[in-house]
Amino acid sequence: MATSNATPDSAPDDTPDAAGRLTGHSATAGAAAELDDYADPVAEAIRAVIDPLIANAKVIAAAYAERTRLLAGLDRLGHDRWIIAGLAGDPIESGRNDPDTQKHGPALNDEELARRAMAAEVGCALRMNFQTAAMMICDAARFTEQLPLFQRALAEGRIGWGHVMKMMEVTASLPVDLPEHVLPRLEEMTLTAAEKLTPGKFAKVARELRESLHPIPLQDRVNAGIRERRVVLRPDINGMSWLNAYLKADEAAAIYERLTQIAKTLNDEDDTEASSADTDSVADTGTGTGTGTGTGTGTDGAFTPPQPDAIVCRTRDQRRADTYRDLLLDGIGADGKLGRGIRGTVNITVPVLTLLGHSDQPAILDGYGPIDLETARRLTGTATSFTRILTHPHTGTILSVDRDSYTPPADLRRYVQIRDNTCQTPGCNRQAVKSEIDHTQAWNAGGTTSADNLVSLCRPDHRLKHQSSFSTRQSPDGTLTWTTPGGKTYTNPRAHDLVRAALQPVVPRKPEAQGLTSPPPVPPTSGPPPLDEEEPPF
State the SS3 of 112-160: HHHHHHHHHHHHHHHCCCHHHHHHHHHHHHHHHHHCHHHHHHHHCCCCC
In a domain, 59, yes or no: yes
pLDDT at 77: 84
pLDDT at 221: 82
CA-to-CA distance for 319 and 278, rounded, in angstroms?
10
Instruction: Supply the range of the domain harboring residue 398.
Output: 345-504
CA-to-CA distance for 307 and 127, rounded, in angstroms?
43
CA-to-CA distance for 379 and 385, rounded, in angstroms?
9
pLDDT at 49: 93
Q: Of 97-101, 133-137, 150-154, 524-528, which range is least confident?
A: 524-528
Q: What is the pLDDT of residues 140-151, one digit of tens each?
A: 999 999 999 999
pLDDT at 33: 54
Instruction: Report the relative pairing of strands 230-235 and 241-246 from DSSP bridges.
Output: antiparallel
pLDDT at 265: 80
CB 348 within 8 A of CB 387: yes
Q: What is the pLDDT of residues 371-417, one digit of tens each?
A: 766 666 666 565 544 555 544 455 454 434 344 567 777 778 888 88
In a domain, 165, yes or no: yes
Spell out the residues 6+ positions from residue 323 whose beta carbon is closer than 8 angstroms to its own: 259, 262, 263, 266, 289, 290
DSSP assigned state of 525: S
- pLDDT band (50, 70, 90) for residue 296: very low
Half-sphere exposure of 216 (CA within 13 A, CB side): 12
Question: Taking the CB of residue 57, how many other CB atoms lie within 10 A of it?
Answer: 13
- pLDDT band (50, 70, 90) for residue 229: very high
Single-letter amino acid, residue 311: I
Q: How would you class 422 by CB atoms within 10 Å of its CB: exposed for 0-12, middle for 13-18, buried for 19 or more?
A: buried
Q: What dihedral angle (degrees, nearest 10) is formed by the CA atoms of 439, 442, 446, 450?
A: 0
Report percent pLDDT > 70 for the chain: 58
In a domain, 18, yes or no: no
pLDDT at 252: 84
pLDDT at 275: 40
Pick the last residue of a domain from 215, 246, 275: 215
Instruction: Report the relative pairing of strands 369-371 and 363-365 from DSSP bridges.
Output: antiparallel
3 pLDDT higher than 50: no
Q: Which of 184-198, 206-220, 349-363 ranks highest by mean pLDDT?
A: 184-198
In a domain, 356, yes or no: yes
Closest CA to 263 of 223, 322, 311: 322
Collapsing DSSP to helix, strand or coil, 42 comes out as helix
Half-sphere exposure of 494 (CA within 13 A, CB side): 25
pLDDT at 366: 65
In a domain, 412, yes or no: yes
CA-to-CA distance for 96 and 505, rounded, in angstroms?
45
In a domain, 308, yes or no: no
Spell out the residues 6+ positions from residue 17 whose beta carbon is closer than 8 angstroms to its own: 11, 26, 27, 28
288 pLDDT higher than 50: no
- DSSP H helices in 407-457: 410-420
Question: Taking the CB of residue 435, how many other CB atoms lie within 10 A of it?
Answer: 24
pLDDT at 104: 52
Pick the last residue of a domain from 200, 215, 230: 215
SS3 content of the chain, % helix, strand, coil (to 5): 45, 15, 40
In a domain, 57, yes or no: yes
CB 373 within 8 A of CB 380: no
In a domain, 422, yes or no: yes
Question: Taking the CB of residue 116, how many other CB atoms lie within 10 A of it?
Answer: 24
337 pLDDT higher than 60: no
Beta bridge pairs of residue 8: none
Report percent pLDDT > 90 for the chain: 20
Calculate mean pLDDT across residues 476-488.
Answer: 87
Average pLDDT, the chain: 72
Calculate mean pLDDT across residues 185-203.
Answer: 92
Pick the last residue of a domain from 149, 180, 215: 215
Ramachandran category for residue 298: left, alpha or beta (phi over 0 → left; psi -120 to 50 → alpha): beta
pLDDT at 286: 37
Calculate mean pLDDT across residues 17-25.
Answer: 43
Clarify whether residues 207 and 59 are in a common domain: yes
In the chain, the number of structural domains is: 2
Half-sphere exposure of 397 (CA within 13 A, CB side): 9
- pLDDT band (50, 70, 90) for residue 155: very high
Calculate mean pLDDT across residues 419-445.
Answer: 86
CB 449 within 8 A of CB 440: no
Calculate mean pLDDT across residues 158-176.
Answer: 92
CA-to-CA distance for 427 and 119, rounded, in angstroms?
10
* Cα 202 from chain centroid (whole Å): 25
Backbone φ and ψ for 173, nearest 5 degrees, come out as: -95, 10
Distances (CA, A) of 503 to 316, 389, 396, 498: 38, 20, 12, 9
Collapsing DSSP to helix, strand or coil, 185 comes out as helix
Q: Of 33-37, 154-158, 230-234, which range is least confident?
A: 33-37
pLDDT at 400: 40
What is the crossing angle of helices 161-172 and 148-155, to 10°?
Answer: 170
Question: Taking the CB of residue 211, how many other CB atoms lie within 10 A of it?
Answer: 11
Q: Of 135-144, 229-238, 376-385, 486-495, which range is least confident?
A: 376-385
CA-to-CA distance for 408 and 99, rounded, in angstroms?
13
- DSSP H helices in 147-266: 148-155, 161-172, 182-196, 199-213, 218-226, 249-265
- pLDDT band (50, 70, 90) for residue 530: very low
Half-sphere exposure of 159 (CA within 13 A, CB side): 26
